[in-house]
Amino acid sequence: MIKKKETQLSFAQLQVNKCLDETNWLHKIDDLIDWEPIRQKFANLHPSNTGRPAYDPVFMFKILLMQQWFNLSDPQAEARINDRISFKIFLGMDIADTGPDETTICNFRNYK
């Protein structure tokens, strides 16, 4: 089963978190929704423990939500995730992390 990646926050991330506006729309949505039941629904997407570790399904699902909310294509989503701190925070990324490429986003959306 794929679990949420637990990481220690970097010094830079801690500083950014102090500066974030808690009234940010994405911040409110993230606090409002319990993502665990959604993670459990996606648990069978990648049942095997072989191969390269997959992205957390909730992480990828959040990208699909942002694409709908902000009317983003796959290439635009890739670019915005790597450019906007608010997107990275919503996705649970460290500000130094790079998001998935457009093909990964497309493959997740079209997975059957």
Separation between Cα atoms, residue 1 and residue 8, nearest integer Å = 21
Which residues are CB-neighbours of 38 under 8 A, at least 6 positions away?
57, 58, 61
Domain layout of the chain by residue ranges: 22-46+54-109
Q: For 9-35, how does the pLDDT look when each residue is reduced to its tens digit (9 = 90+)?
A: 566 666 666 656 666 788 889 989 999
Q: Length of the chain, please?
A: 112
Which residues are CB-neighbours of 80 under 8 A, at least 6 positions away?
66, 70, 72, 87
Residue 22: DSSP 8-state: T
Q: Residue 1: which pLDDT band, with cuts at 50, 70 and 90? A: very low
pTM over 0.75: yes
pLDDT attached to residue 21? 62
